Amino acid sequence: MLLVVAAAACFAGIVVVRQGPPSGGDTAPLTAVTSALADGHLTVAANNDGLPNPPGYALLTASLVAAFPSLIGSPAWCTQPGRAADLHTQAGYVHDPAFGTDVGECGSPRRLANGDLGPWLPQWYRAQGLLGVMSWLVLATGGLVLLRAADADNPARIAALLALLAFLPAASSAIVQLFHPQDMVSLGLALLAMAQVLRRRWVLGGLLFGAAVVTKQYAVLLLLPALAVAADTRARAKVAVAALVLGVAALTPFFIVAPRATLENLSGFSAGGAVSRATVLALAGWSTTVVSAIARDTPVLFAVGVCIWAYRRRGPWLQRPEALLALGLACVGSRLVFESVIFPYYLLATSVIFFVLDLVAKRSPHRSLAWCAGAAFFVAVDPGNQAVNAIGTLSLAVLAVAAGILEIRRLSSANQQVKEVVSVSPDTG
């Protein structure tokens, strides 16, 4: 517990040093949807298509915003004395001509309301920024539970994982760059789901995967490996059906009141090709439609193919924790291969899965740490040359996928060698 508190404090300190969540980016639409749900305005929330993500994060946090509106649930990006009630209406989100200016001024010290918690707190603490920082706890919990399920939770590995999550640039970038706490929550839920699959709690694992996918679409790239390693067809069906039921239950109210916006947000199609830089796909010069289709659909198709390939090599090795994590690494890493733009927080899932794989395999994590450093160099540090960025990022993405595939080959080949030795041993009975 002390390690968790210390790591959480380090992460929060890094977020503060990096000046907290931005006033622009995806902050306004995410907080607007959450506030609308907290106020019971489902139609307003469902019709908000400013952020092409499913509504899972808003559904999970809306109750906290409703319960503590003055503490962590400001209805806009910053607390505005005398106008808070106005911003709880649809006009506050859509028709207010000063809304953009209000959001842009949230980083200014003068926007901090005179609250009972004192002026020493960051300016963004009231405006759901604290909820974003707390999303790190979901990620940390998922990682720790997965280590325990894989029987790799000794003090050294626990400390190593918490240190990585606290200091990994991709983690703090999820908060301070475009405000995407949903990426951390989704990954945390997916890690929890993977832990339940390792423990053969199929229904619970499926429900957690469903929550992860509804929070951020890329979690489907971790659901597919779980289906591949499930013990049998019945277990596979339990995981899939539970995930589907939760997803349908969460999305149906949104689909009823705003079917078009809900489908667009779920597909994430409008986000593909939004920024043309940093990847080979972005430099290809293709249309936004083609780029979107490749970025959104190809990783899923690739993940299906890898999981089928691994399943055809099935054996006792497929039930080992390393197999699930290696498949997860190959699948989630493919997202980086086919993306049209890579922001630093896009590296989060691949970095964490790669590192946890090394910990679960009980080996030095020097490979995964080197990969994290190299990826951060090309994506976060940004050498400046687009071609260099694109080739460097693609090379590291391919390396991550290759590391996962090679781990699968190693595990399956070792299992085959054991079978061959057993089959040729003389009968000593």
* Tens digit of each residue's pLDDT (9 = 90 or more) over 123-155: 676 778 888 889 999 999 999 999 999 999 999
**Type of residue numbered 429:** G
* Tens digit of each residue's pLDDT (9 = 90 or more) over 245-285: 999 999 999 999 999 999 988 887 655 444 445 676 666 66
DSSP state of 216: -
* Tens digit of each residue's pLDDT (9 = 90 or more) over 37-91: 998 999 999 998 888 899 999 999 999 988 888 777 765 554 333 333 333 333 3
What pLDDT was estimated at residue 254? 95
Asked if the structure places residue 325 within a domain, the reply is yes
Closest by alpha carbon to 46, among 160, 378, 54, 356? 54
Residues whose CB falls within 8 Å of the CB of residue 39, separated by 6 or more in sequence, listed in order: 66, 75, 88
* Element housing 409 (H / E): helix 386-424
Model confidence at 415: pLDDT above 50:
yes
Asked if the structure places residue 151 within a domain, the reply is yes
What pLDDT was estimated at residue 378? 82
331 vs 378, which has greater pLDDT? 331
Mean pLDDT of 88-105: 38
* Tens digit of each residue's pLDDT (9 = 90 or more) over 164-179: 999 999 999 999 888 8
Asked if the structure places residue 401 within a domain, the reply is yes
Tell me how many degrees the CA angle 299-302-305 measures, rounded to the nearest 5.
Answer: 150
What pLDDT was estimated at residue 118? 47
Q: Which structural domain, as residue segments, surrounds residue 284?
A: 130-418
Is residue 38 within 8 Å of 63, Cβ to Cβ? Answer: yes
Asked if the structure places residue 33 within a domain, the reply is no
- Quote the number of domains for the chain: 1
In three-state secondary structure terms, 339 is coil
What would the two tokens of residue 340 be? 């049209």
Q: Give the pLDDT band (50/70/90) at residue 320.
A: very high
Least confident interval from 90-104, 155-169, 192-206, 358-372? 90-104
Closest by alpha carbon to 24, among 145, 138, 124, 112? 124
**Type of residue numbered 302:** F
Q: Which residue has the tokens 């911003």?
A: 87
Q: Which residue has the tokens 């197999």?
A: 323
What would the two tokens of residue 52 be? 């092409």
Asked if the structure places residue 167 within a domain, the reply is yes
* Tens digit of each residue's pLDDT (9 = 90 or more) over 372-391: 999 888 887 766 667 777 78
Residues forming beta bridges with residue 140, ordered by sequence position: none
How many H-runs (helices) and E-runs (strands) does the chain carry?
20, 0
Model confidence at 286: pLDDT above 70:
no
